[in-house]
Chains A and B, each alone.
Chain A
Amino acid sequence: MNPLHLALRLLRRDWRAGELRLLATALVIAVASVTSVGFFTDRIERAMERQATEVLAGDLRIESNQPLPDTFIQEAERRQLQQASTLSFPSVILSKGATQLVQIKAVSDRYPLRGHLRVRDSVTSPESITSLLPGPGEAWLEERLLPLMGLAIGDTIKLGQSSFRISRIITYEPDRSANLFQLVPRVMIGLNDIEKTGLLGPASRVRHYLLVAGSPSQMSHYKTWLEQLNLSGIQIEDIRAARPELRLALEQGGRFLRLAAATAILLCVVAVALSSRRFVERQSDTSALLRCLGAKRRQVGQIFILRLLSLGVIASLVGVLLGLVVQALLIHLIGQWFTSQIPAPSAWPLVSGLITGILVLIGFSLPSILRLSEVPPLRVFRRHLGAPPISYRLFLGAAIISLGILLIWQIGDDLLASQLITGLLVGMAILLIVSRLLVHLLAPLRNRTAGSWRYGLSSLSRNPATTSVQLTGFGLGITVLLLLAIVRVDLLSNWREALPENSPNQFLINIQPGEVEGVRKLLIEGGIKLTGLFPMIRGRLISIDGHQVSLDDYDNPRAQRLSTRDFNVSHATYPQSDNKIVSGHWWSETEWNEPWFSVEQGLAETLGIPLGAELVFEVAGRKIAGRVASLRSVEWDSFNVNFFVVGTPGLMLDQPATYITSFYLADEKRHLLHRLIQTYPSITALDVTALMQQIRAIMDRGALAVESVFLFTLAAGLIVLYAGIQASHELRVQETAILRTLGLSRRRLVISALLEFSLLGGLAGLIAAVLASAISYSLANAVFNLPWQLNFSMWAIALLGGGLGVGSAGIIASWPLLNTPPLVVMRKM
């Protein structure tokens, strides 16, 4: 006997007989959703990443305070990468006898490689995207320079030894400096004009940049080439190192997408497990007969495993194709939201789809199918002898391992994966226990099957194994669907609300103490809501617990940068509203004179500052020492003013401070800003509207993508429902035929089926609500860092939806049985 040959023949027969259709459908959906999510998220993530690379105006940015070697450009050209050069330095412009400190940026052709410049042609004209650059002798200025120096479009400014005509207002450049608070107004000119200004002397503080862009693989090769040169004094930045606010938004979006993929996987494995169990029941006769006819256990096992694997390969291929089609539809649906072109699908999701199919089968089907070789041959005489019950250890082992691999690999987030697996296991345990209880509670009805609805309920206790399986299947299915609803509605909107419409979009820095009252008055009279003006003191961290802070103490580049940089330290009587004290405590009124600091927890972690540490700062040549009384978490992406280090008023009040504030400025109130800058020329105004728009766009697209991906989860949910109903199909066929022969009316049979399934569904819904609340709570806290609230309406929806949904699905599934003459049903048994 050639087992593969026989297996394939049997597979063909099974297919015609509909034996494997449910299993195959579940598998196709699993693979299709995983691959389409894979293809889709792969492409969307790359598109989002590409859009985020706008922050660098290229995929890679090389920075140095020396002119960059020509070999960098030559190598980029050799590799057919796009490249552009810029340089930037502080300087002074002269006009109408006044001088102003500005940041000059000179840009070459092709700048920017990623993203677009936005300009206004005049103060009153609308903002527009442009592909132009400042022409020879032209300069583009940032808007706030005009009121500051009393300039208008067409005026001339002097820069070094040459003059420039102001031709446009520049409102947005993708790669504006990552540090919002070290900005002076921008002046942009062409790179070819820079020579004749004579400003590039050896002593000038010029930063040279080379921007490079190309395909991801080209880029990584180029980056490797750069890194092996081992040059010092050169900084290489790619998207990962870019703006923290954008990076946060991007990471969060990715996390949501991966969660969506994970929920689809979860539902599909439940469906596969359910339909495998049914397959085992239906194939027990074949197994017993094969054994009877002389097949060894191993041969029977081989036949079924080969059958399963060939099914797996075929179904996975179909799934991959389906996934490919669906992702194309999704990309079509969502593509218009992207400004840049979406990259083509890569081949990887195809391979990963096949591996997924096989993994799902091995984890959730194989342990059941293996039982088929254990069916005693005596079953041919005694029908009640079936496959031995599944070993929970084997089932759990296989499930955890394969799901673990699948989730960690597919969603690439260990924390999310481990939380979901834990949730699933705890959920399964609870559902199994409850189903045992249910069987127990309904047992007294067992011998009183006269009433039609007693019959429905007692049938649950007569088949405890099936009841357990169904309750578990429905419960897990509804849990995942609820999770989806919670994530979609609550978490997703919380994420977007983290940046509400009226988030601060303007920062004022460098406000002198004497100007604080005037600025406050001007803004409040202009109808601006102010959260406050905060003192800002520049200080350098000297020592932690007596240990000198030096660059060499840290390996991590972020820590190195922080350890050598000046901090903005503030003082306050109360913590900012969006701050949370994570350890220690904030000072009370009686403690305002204590020498205490409160440190942001991320900074504390990076620099190794424990609670209670003694910090020494150097401020304006004087040393200030204090103890860390608390660690705080800060929502950096809220755009509120926040500080890494805050001291008590007693510690910091006497230090030389400037003030800073942030507020929301509606577009129609821009004139207020002009007035403010004219009145207080030394104040620096910073407009972050464009940056916020970019972040919002990422959130919106992310949310839409997540919602589309959830459609799969929904489809998978329906399959679980169907598989759950089918789990008791064989029993129901038998019982319905017998009961109808015995004269039970169809009406009573319908009622009993309704009762049976709505009780199961309602109970599953209720447990699912508890589980979904718990899992979403832990996801919100540990993975997404979003607020969470108990959603009671969800409980009601789960209870009613579960009961009605499963109940009516049960009726629909039983309908054909009720409308076929009992004799026909009996003959099919």
Chain B
Amino acid sequence: MLQTSSNQLPVTASGLMKFVETTEGRLDILQHIDLQVSSGEAVAILGASGSGKSTLLGLLAGLDEASAGEVRLFDTPLSSLDEDGRAALRAGKVGFVFQSFQLLSGMTALENVMLPLELAGHKSPEQAAKEALSQAGLAKRLHHYPSQLSGGEQQRVALARAFAPSPKILFADEPTANLDAHTGERVAELLFRLQEQSDTVLILVTHDEMLARRCDRRLYLREGRLEAEA
């Protein structure tokens, strides 16, 4: 497997720019971002609300196209791929956790976790999903719908869903922002435990210093630029 050879960087960005045209003229969201993340590393990207954290995450994950510069995932330049190509690159290798949970409300916890497994053609999605959920401490909530779960429980389902297919990279967008401090702490614990177990690259976006401190490296997003320390 080429992608996992040791000298290869899972995520790199160079000269990354993002601007959008608005009615009030051009809005520069990101300016000249350079970033390199190595295998197994956990990187926190900090910044105030509206500083462009989600935008950056979207670009790194190949969900959006950069205005300039380049992102490489597993050494493949995203700009050389179309949307479907980028999706194929993500399949089974990239996981997500979002601020607003993104569980599908029509599906139970178990079904939500099964979805990426099924999509990746996993041989026994139900078994794997059950395992992931029990790891997240939700073995008794398999058949509950998101509306029947608390915020923390929902986010733990989301974590189970993200880690179940054993992704190489996990993108997390303010996973604790919607939770109270105590619940947030428990979710963070689970997140880092799973990350260590699976040796996954974690790119964590947050405005929470405490959370960021658990990562190997912290980067700050200010006025569209990425800085190493405060």
Q: Chain A: residues with CB nearer than 8 A to chain B?
A: 1-2, 5-6, 9, 13-14, 16-19, 285-286, 289-298, 376-378, 380-383, 827-828
Contact = CB atoms under 8 A, between A and B. Distances in A.
B56 to A, nearest CB: 10
30 contacts: A1-B118, A1-B120, A6-B118, A6-B119, A13-B111, A17-B106, A285-B102, A286-B104, A292-B61, A293-B91, A293-B119, A293-B120, A294-B87, A294-B89, A294-B92, A294-B93, A294-B120, A295-B87, A295-B119, A296-B87, A297-B84, A297-B87, A378-B64, A380-B96, A380-B98, A380-B102, A381-B55, A381-B57, A381-B58, A382-B54
Interface string B117-143: 011110000000000000000000000
Contact of B106 (A13, A376, A377): A13
B98 A381 contact: yes
Given A13-B107, A19-B106, A380-B96, A295 B91 contact: yes
A280 to B, nearest CB: 14
Given A376-B63, A827-B147, 15 more contacts: A6-B118, A16-B106, A17-B105, A290-B119, A292-B61, A292-B90, A292-B96, A293-B115, A294-B94, A296-B88, A297-B84, A297-B87, A383-B100, A828-B105, A828-B147
Could you say which of A5, A17, A294, A296 has the most chain B C-beta atoms within 10 Å of its C-beta?
A294
Nearest to A827: B147
Contacts of A285: 102, 104
Interface residues of B, number: 35
A2 B106 CA distance: 21
Which DSSP category, helix, strand, loop or mixed, fits chain A's interface?
Answer: helix
Contacts of B58: 378, 381
- Shortest beta-carbon contacts, A-B, top 10: A294-B91, A17-B106, A294-B90, A296-B84, A377-B63, A293-B116, A381-B54, A378-B63, A1-B121, A378-B64
B83 interface: yes
Interface in B70-103: 83-84, 87-96, 98, 100, 102
Could you say which of A16, A292, A295, A378 has the most chain B C-beta atoms within 10 Å of its C-beta?
A292
Could you say which of A14, A18, A289, A297 has the most chain B C-beta atoms within 10 Å of its C-beta?
A289
Contacts of A828: 105, 147
Interface of B: 54-55, 57-58, 61, 63-64, 83-84, 87-96, 98, 100, 102, 104-107, 111, 115-116, 118-121, 147, 173
Contacts of A298: 84
A290 B94 CA distance: 12
Contacts of A289: 102, 104, 115
Contacts of A383: 100
A788 B107 CA distance: 55
B107 A17 contact: yes
Contacts of A378: 58, 63-64
A612 to B, nearest CB: 69
Contacts of A6: 118-119
Nearest to A16: B106
Contacts of B104: 285-286, 289
A16 B104 CA distance: 13
B173 to A, nearest CB: 7
A304 to B, nearest CB: 14
Contacts of A380: 63, 96, 98, 102
A377 B107 CA distance: 19
A2 B107 CA distance: 19
Contacts of A827: 147
A537 B153 CA distance: 98
A291 B84 CA distance: 9
A294 B88 contact: yes
Could you say which of B106, B115, B116 has the most chain A C-beta atoms within 10 Å of its C-beta?
B106
A17 B107 CA distance: 7
B215 to A, nearest CB: 20
A797 B111 CA distance: 50
Given A6-B118, A9-B118, A293 B90 contact: yes
Contact of A294 (B54, B64, B106, B119): B119
B83 to A, nearest CB: 7
Contacts of B116: 293-294
A712 B121 CA distance: 45
B185 to A, nearest CB: 22
A383 B102 CA distance: 10
Given A1-B121, A828-B105, A381 B147 contact: no
A372 B146 CA distance: 23
B17 to A, nearest CB: 17
Contacts of B55: 381
A324 B120 CA distance: 43
A5 to B, nearest CB: 8
Nearest to B57: A381
Contacts of B100: 383
Contacts of A9: 118
A6 B111 CA distance: 11
A592 B51 CA distance: 96
Given A6-B118, A381-B58, A291 B87 contact: yes
A2 to B, nearest CB: 8
Nearest to A6: B118
A817 to B, nearest CB: 15
Contacts of A292: 61, 63, 90, 96
Could you say which of A2, A13, A381, A383 has the most chain B C-beta atoms within 10 Å of its C-beta?
A381
Could you say which of A1, A293, A295 has the most chain B C-beta atoms within 10 Å of its C-beta?
A293
B107 A381 contact: no
A324 to B, nearest CB: 32
Nearest to A9: B118
A303 to B, nearest CB: 9
A17 B120 CA distance: 24
Contacts of B84: 296-298
A308 to B, nearest CB: 16
Nearest to B89: A294
Contacts of B93: 294
Contacts of B63: 291-292, 376-378, 380-381
A297 B83 contact: yes
A382 B58 CA distance: 10
Nearest to A824: B147
A646 B89 CA distance: 86
A14 B106 CA distance: 7
Contacts of A5: 118
Contacts of B107: 13, 17
A293 B84 CA distance: 12
A298 B96 CA distance: 22
A817 B90 CA distance: 39
A690 B90 CA distance: 81
Contacts of A16: 106
A380 B161 CA distance: 15
Contacts of B92: 294
A295 B118 CA distance: 11
B127 to A, nearest CB: 15
Nearest to A2: B121
Given A285-B104, A827-B147, A381 B173 contact: yes
Nearest to A286: B104
Contacts of A18: 106
Contacts of B83: 291, 297, 377
A290 B107 CA distance: 14
Nearest to B145: A17
Could you say which of A6, A290, A295, A297 has the most chain B C-beta atoms within 10 Å of its C-beta?
A295
B61 to A, nearest CB: 8
A421 B58 CA distance: 46
A307 to B, nearest CB: 12
Nearest to A291: B87
